[in-house]
């Protein structure tokens, strides 16, 4: 196969971890005889420095032209007090919007080698393997009316949680398709005992599920789900939920796996005419100014994002599995960065990238 990938390393450790992710992408492509065309663009603080804006039009055009985008992280302390339109993080929201990615996928996996760094007891977390699918472009974060008005005791704030049937349907279908390639179970999370919005959510999910008789569907109220994630994380295969609930639950899911440096994420949009899926892939962590430029950052979240890209945008399951297996081998070998608390001297960012390539 042949595909075009845009890389946006961004700021801080984004640059270091993306370099290793690209090393792995090139390695796996060569091994499986695929041709990758790589281009690099500016996003975040570095883009503000060079062009005056966090998302230059050339970057947006390049992302629309590419088959998938691999991002590092954005954010520099010098912009902490800048106005919103001059902040690196604005670039992130801008590119998600430009690409129309409507579902955020966060795989959560408990690796055997990291089981002791999970805050949960080993027997609870062992074997956890789920994907949290969060609707990304609707709900409370975008709904109108919104705003703060009035003054004194009458000052009031309003936000609106709004979903259309079409928005619920497309994200539910994505969850169902993902489950088909996994353990065939979808848990839909809502608050239908209180919110009309969730009542529509549940109704549409049930209707869509009729097209997927091979998938087992269950429903959880979001408060119960928050408990179940720590009480019995193994029960989940694919969890699908709306934007605000997903924002909160995916961070709860994140701590199950140990270090934040380990976590990949994928944001997926529509299927392109060439059969590839629009996708934006990035580690969950930020630009970590405290360790930037020191060759200390864990690149496994970025490398895991490459595995996600191969699987979700290009349908290359065997290649994705090879990357995931190599990451697991490296974790088991103990050649890992300091955040994972190895017994001996920690490996550098670059050494971990090289070790993953060797293990593929």
Which residues are near ligand NAD by CB under 6 A?
13, 17, 73-75, 89, 92, 260-261, 282, 285-291, 297-298, 301, 337, 339
Tell me how far, at minimum, the Cβ of 321 lies from ligand NAD, in Å.
23
Task: Classify strands 277-283 and 264-271 as parallel, antiparallel or unpaired.
Answer: antiparallel
What does DSSP assign to residue 346? P
Q: Is the bond preceding residue 145 a cis peptide, omega within 30 degrees?
A: yes
Residue 256: HSE in the Cβ half-sphere, 13 Å Cα cutoff: 31
The tokens for 86 are: 């001059």
Tell me how far, at minimum, the Cβ of 287 lies from ligand NAD, in Å.
4
Which lies closer to ligand NAD via its Cβ, residue 62 or residue 73? Answer: 73
Which lies closer to ligand NAD via its Cβ, residue 54 or residue 138? Answer: 54
Tell me how far, at minimum, the Cβ of 87 lies from ligand NAD, in Å.
8
- Is the distance from CB of 351 to CB of 298 less than 8 angstroms? no
Query: Using CA atoms, how far apart are residues 1 and 275, in angstroms rounded to an integer?
Result: 12
Q: What are phi and psi of 129, to 5 degrees?
A: -155, 95
Which lies closer to ligand NAD via its Cβ, residue 10 or residue 139? Answer: 10
- The helix-helix angle for 57-65 and 88-99 (nearest 10°) equals 40
Tell me how far, at minimum, the Cβ of 10 lies from ligand NAD, in Å.
6
Which lies closer to ligand NAD via its Cβ, residue 192 or residue 337? Answer: 337
Query: Using CA atoms, how far apart are residues 285 and 263, in angstroms rounded to an integer?
Result: 8
| Residues marked as catalytic | 141, 191, 223, 247, 251
Which lies closer to ligand NAD via its Cβ, residue 239 or residue 291? Answer: 291
Tell me how far, at minimum, the Cβ of 281 lies from ligand NAD, in Å.
11
- Burial class of 201 by CB neighbour count within 10 A (0 to 12, 13 to 18, 19+): buried
Q: Which helix (H) or strand (E) covers residue 257, if one does?
A: none
């Amino acid at each position: 196969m042949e595909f075009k990938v845009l890389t946006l390393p961004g700021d801080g450790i984004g640059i270091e971890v993306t370099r290793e992710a690209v090393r792995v992408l090139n390695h796996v492509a060569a091994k499986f005889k695929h041709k990758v065309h790589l281009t690099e663009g500016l996003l975040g603080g570095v883009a503000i420095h060079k062009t005056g804006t966090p998302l230059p039009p050339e970057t947006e055009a390049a992302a629309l032209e590419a088959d998938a985008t691999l991002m590092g992280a954005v954010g520099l302390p010098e912009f902490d007090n800048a106005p919103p339109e001059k902040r690196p993080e604005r670039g992130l929201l801008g590119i998600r919007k430009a690409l129309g990615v409507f579902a955020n996928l966060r795989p959560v996996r408990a690796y055997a080698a990291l089981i002791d760094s999970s805050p949960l007891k080993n027997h609870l977390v062992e074997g956890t393997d789920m994907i949290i699918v969060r609707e990304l472009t609707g709900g409370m974060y975008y709904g109108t009316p919104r705003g703060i008005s009035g003054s004194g005791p009458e000052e009031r704030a309003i936000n609106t949680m709004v979903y259309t049937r079409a928005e619920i349907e497309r994200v539910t279908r994505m969850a169902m398709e993902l489950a088909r390639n996994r353990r065939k179970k979808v848990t839909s999370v809502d608050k239908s005992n209180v919110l009309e919005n969730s009542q529509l959510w549940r109704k549409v999910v049930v209707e869509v599920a009729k097209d997927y008789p091979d998938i087992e569907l269950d429903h959880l109220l979001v408060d119960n789900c928050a408990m179940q994630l720590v009480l019995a994380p193994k029960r989940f295969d694919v969890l699908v939920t709306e934007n605000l609930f997903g924002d909160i639950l995916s961070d709860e899911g994140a701590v199950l796996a140990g270090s934040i440096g380990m976590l990949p994420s994928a944001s997926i949009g529509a299927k392109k005419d060439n059969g590839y899926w629009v996708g934006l892939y990035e580690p969950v962590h930020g630009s970590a100014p405290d360790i930037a430029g020191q060759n200390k950052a864990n690149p496994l979240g970025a490398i895991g994002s490459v595995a996600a890209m191969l699987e979700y945008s290009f349908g290359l399951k065997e290649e994705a599995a090879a990357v995931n297996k190599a990451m697991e081998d490296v974790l088991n070998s103990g050649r890992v960065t300091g955040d994972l608390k190895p017994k001996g001297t920690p490996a550098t960012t670059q050494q971990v990238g090289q070790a993953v390539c060797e293990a593929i």
